[in-house]
Amino acid sequence: MLALYYTRYESPLGEILLLANEQALTGVWLPGQQPDTGQLAQAVKQDRAPVLVQGCAWLDRYFCGRRPTPQELPMDPPGSDFRRRVWKRLCRIPYGHLETYGQIAREMSEPGGGKMSAQAVGGAVGHNPISLIIPCHRVVGAQGNLVGYNGGLALKRRLLKYEGVDVRQLHDPKPRGPSPKASRHEQ
């Protein structure tokens, strides 16, 4: 088993936690996101571990507007084969661009001939352990709906705005069912 290391990176968003083994990044959590406590409990703080130094340099480039790509870093996110395929696909979404869960599902289902649902893609996106670098924040729902984000919709908007996306075209998800207040007014 490979040793695990972690470091903390101070960003314009707040503190970012990076986790890596000796060969690749295994986790990146933004402020407000819950890290994998099982892995973190096994990790040793090591600011100079080569993969973590690479990860921090990547974040430096990102926050300076230099548009680094996920392919610049060795990554080994823990997850099922399906999730890893979705995360690999997310890495092809360019900086400042958006794609929908449905687009990704249609594209990923074509080669195998089977169908894939947008909800299945959404489930994998929601379990992305390497936030920001694997750009799950660039995936939106149909018609520009800003559906869930592990760090919250405000953080998702902030990241997209940082990348130059016109967030005015995006909408918060519609609430499911009437709120208790609305129900009283309807009666």
List active site positions: 136
Q: What tokens appear for 73 in the block?
A: 């870093």
Question: Which tokens sit at 96?
Answer: 């400042």
CB 59 within 8 A of CB 9: yes
Using DSSP's 3-state secondary structure scheme, residue 20 falls into strand
* Residue 171 DSSP symbol: B
DSSP state for residue 128 in the 8-state scheme: -
Cross-strand bridge partners of residue 5 = 20, 44
Nearest-CA neighbor of 39 among 54, 18, 14, 56? 18
- Angle among Cα 143, 166, 160 to the nearest 5 degrees reads 90
